[in-house]
Amino acid sequence: MSKVIETLNLLSPSPGTRHELKLHRYGKAGARPKAYIQAALHADEYPGLLVAQHLISQLDELDRREEIEGEIVVVPVANPIGLGQRINDQHLGRYELAGGGNFNRNWPDLTEAVVARVAGYLTQDVAQNAAKIREALEQEVALLEVRKELDDLRKTLLQNSIGADIVLDLHSDAQALPHLYASVHHRELAAELGCDLGARAVLIETEAGGSPFDECNAGVWWKLNERLGHKAPIPLACFSSTIELRGEQDVDDDLASQDASAIVRFLQRRGLIKGDPKALPAALCTPTPLEGTDIVYAPAAGIVVYRKQLGDWVEAGEVIAELIDPMADSAQGARIPMISRTSGLFFAHMSSRLLAPGAAFAKIAGETPLQHREAGNLLEA
Q: Is residue 379 part of a domain?
A: no
Give the residue-averaged pLDDT of 26-35.
96
Q: Is residue 325 part of a domain?
A: yes
Give the residue-averaged pLDDT of 162-187.
98
**CATH number of the structural domain spanning residue 30:** 3.40.630.10
Q: Domain of 331?
A: 290-366
- Asked if 315 and 333 count as a contact pair (C-beta separation under 8 A), the reply is no
Please report the pLDDT score of residue 379 as a whole number. 84
Instruction: Kindly report, residue by residue over 51-92, the tens digit of the pLDDT.
Output: 999 999 999 999 999 999 999 999 999 999 999 999 999 999
Same domain assignment for residues 250 and 303: no
Same domain assignment for residues 263 and 314: no
**CATH number of the structural domain spanning residue 359:** 2.40.50.100
Q: Is residue 378 part of a domain?
A: no
Q: Is residue 89 part of a domain?
A: yes
Q: Is residue 212 part of a domain?
A: yes
Same domain assignment for residues 263 and 308: no
pTM beyond 0.95: yes
Same domain assignment for residues 252 and 359: no
Per-chain mean pLDDT for the chain: 96
Strand order in the sheet with 354-355: 335-339, 319-324, 302-306, 354-355
Same domain assignment for residues 74 and 122: yes
Instruction: Kindly report, residue by residue over 211-233, the tens digit of the pLDDT.
Output: 999 999 999 999 999 999 999 99
Instruction: Kindly report, residue by residue over 274-315, the tens digit of the pLDDT.
Output: 999 999 999 999 999 999 999 999 999 999 999 999 999 999
- Asked if 133 and 224 count as a contact pair (C-beta separation under 8 A), the reply is yes
Same domain assignment for residues 267 and 300: no
Same domain assignment for residues 73 and 221: yes
Q: Which residue, of 247, 265, 286, is where some domain finishes?
A: 286
d(CA 46, CA 40): 7
Confidence band, pLDDT 50/70/90 cuts, at residue 377? confident
Amino acid at 32: R
Is the pLDDT confidence value at 376 over 80?
no
Same domain assignment for residues 314 and 229: no
* Count of domains for the chain: 2
- What are the backbone dihedrals phi and psi of residue 100, each rounded to the nearest 5 degrees, phi first? -85, -5
Please report the pLDDT score of residue 375 as a whole number. 65
Q: Is residue 217 part of a domain?
A: yes
DSSP string, 57-121: HHHHHHHHTT-B-SEEEEES-S-HHHHT-EETTEE--SEETTTTEETTS-----HHHHHHHHTTT
Same domain assignment for residues 220 and 103: yes
Same domain assignment for residues 180 and 257: yes
Confidence band, pLDDT 50/70/90 cuts, at residue 207? confident
- Asked if 90 and 69 count as a contact pair (C-beta separation under 8 A), the reply is no
Please report the pLDDT score of residue 374 as a whole number. 73
Q: Which residue, of 264, 286, 308, is where some domain finishes?
A: 286
Q: Is residue 256 part of a domain?
A: yes
Same domain assignment for residues 55 and 156: yes
- Asked if 245 and 171 count as a contact pair (C-beta separation under 8 A), the reply is yes
Instruction: Kindly report, residue by residue over 85-142, the tens digit of the pLDDT.
Output: 999 999 999 999 999 999 999 999 999 999 999 999 999 999 999 999 999 999 999 9
Confidence band, pLDDT 50/70/90 cuts, at residue 267? very high
Give the residue-averaged pLDDT of 250-274.
98
Q: Is residue 380 part of a domain?
A: no
Instruction: Kindly report, residue by residue over 233-245, the tens digit of the pLDDT.
Output: 999 999 999 999 9
Please report the pLDDT score of residue 378 as a whole number. 84
Give the residue-averaged pLDDT of 30-40.
97
d(CA 62, CA 186): 28
Is the pLDDT confidence value at 366 over 80?
yes
Please report the pLDDT score of residue 184 as a whole number. 97
Instruction: Kindly report, residue by residue over 7-22, the tens digit of the pLDDT.
Output: 999 999 999 999 999 9
Q: Which residue, of 219, 253, 286, is where some domain finishes?
A: 286
Same domain assignment for residues 54 and 183: yes
